[in-house]
């Protein structure tokens, strides 16, 4: 990976500690991560390894107990919640496993939802919705409701919604978990193509090696520590 690409994500020595009764849970233990523009990074690991916690911290949904999280040049580690909400709208697209489409809205209206939070006129919103739908090959289904779409088409609509605000970073938490094998591979190849052709940066949490195989880089979480494909803790891998 060329070092000349702009940095989109820089996590430095992030810890996340939860207290449950008298028990202390060290969910993240000094995680550091560097992600460049155009990367498609897959995070793998067993349940409870900390990968979703890391994803949510990068998204500004959760806060690290200590450490620094810089996304698109902004240190979001100590943002107030109202600051984070406005920041997420412009900087983060999020793809959910269960699609999270609003059933009473068409594909077009679902994709338009995040744009309603931005100061855009109707003409500009329409242009961005149609651009996003075109990117995922769904313009001919724009007036269909979620129940009229296949699972793969629903997830494509969810990806279009995540892309509608043109965010520099798109995150997915098991985004193909509810899809069959053919649709899962199709969606991941779509994501890989968006990275190559448009410089979008994706970070995806997955259990599926087939999904991870579409990524440009794969990292593993193990008991709160980020490890490289070699199995070494990422900090040690970088020093080699």
What are φ and ψ of residue 31, in 5° steps? Answer: -80, 130
Residue 9 has what pLDDT?
A: 96
Please give the Cα distance from 143 to 182 (Å, whole number). 25
Query: DSSP letters of 5-28?
Result: SPEEEEEEEEEEEEEETTEEEEEE
pTM of the model: 0.86
Residue 239 pLDDT level (bands cut at 50, 70, 90)? very low
Q: What is the pLDDT of residues 88-131, one digit of tens each?
A: 988 999 998 788 999 999 999 999 999 999 999 999 999 999 99
Span 195-205, pLDDT tens digits:
888 888 999 99
Residue with token string 């699609």: 99
Largest CA distance in the chain: 55
pLDDT confidence band for 238 (50 / 70 / 90) = very low
SS3 89: helix
Q: Check whether 38 has a pLDDT greater than 80.
A: yes
Domains of the chain: 7-100+168-239 (3.40.50.300)
Query: Which helix (H) or strand (E) element contains residue 40?
Result: strand 40-44
Q: What is the pLDDT of residue 234?
A: 55
Q: Tell me the mean pLDDT in the region 142-155.
A: 94
DSSP sequence for 144-203: --GGGS-HHHHHHHHHHHHHTT--SEEEEESTTTTS-HHHHHHHHHHHHHHHHHH--EEE
Whether pLDDT at 218 is above 70: yes
Mean pLDDT (the chain, rounded):
88
Q: What percent of the chain has pLDDT over 70?
A: 93
Q: CA-to-CA distance for 90 and 86, rounded, in angstroms?
A: 7
Residue with tokens 């060329």: 2
Residue 211 — very low, low, confident or very high, per pLDDT cuts 50/70/90? confident
User: What value does the mean pLDDT take over residues 213-226?
Assistant: 91
- H/E stretch holding 68 reads strand 66-71
Q: Could you tell me what percent of the chain has a pLDDT over 90?
A: 58
pLDDT band at 217 (very low <50, low <70, confident <90, very high): very high
pLDDT digits (tens, 9 = 90+) for 43-95: 999 888 999 999 999 999 999 999 999 999 999 988 888 888 889 988 999 99
């Amino acid at each position: 990976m060329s070092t000349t690409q702009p940095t989109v994500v820089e996590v430095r020595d992030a810890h996340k500690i939860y207290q449950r009764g008298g028990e202390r849970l060290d969910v993240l233990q000094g995680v550091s991560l560097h992600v460049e523009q155009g990367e498609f990074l897959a995070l793998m690991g067993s349940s409870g390894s900390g990968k979703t916690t890391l994803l949510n911290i990068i998204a500004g949904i959760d806060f690290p107990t200590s450490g620094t999280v810089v996304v698109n040049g902004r240190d979001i580690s100590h943002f107030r919640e109202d600051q984070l909400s406005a920041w997420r709208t412009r900087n983060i697209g999020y793809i959910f496993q269960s699609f999270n489409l609003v059933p009473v809205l068409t594909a077009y209206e679902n994709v338009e939802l995040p744009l309603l939070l931005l100061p855009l006129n109707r003409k500009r919103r329409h242009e961005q919705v149609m651009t996003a739908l075109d990117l995922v090959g769904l313009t001919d289904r724009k007036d269909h409701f979620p129940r009229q779409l296949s699972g793969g088409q629903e997830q494509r609509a969810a990806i279009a919604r995540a892309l509608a605000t043109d965010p520099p970073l798109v995150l997915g938490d098991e985004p193909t978990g509810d899809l069959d094998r053919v649709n899962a591979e199709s969606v991941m190849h779509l994501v890989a193509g968006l990275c190559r052709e448009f410089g979008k940066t994706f970070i995806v949490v997955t259990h599926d090696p087939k999904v991870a195989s579409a990524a440009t880089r794969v990292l593993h979480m193990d008991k709160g520590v980020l490890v490289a494909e070699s199995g070494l803790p990422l900090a040690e891998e970088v020093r080699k």
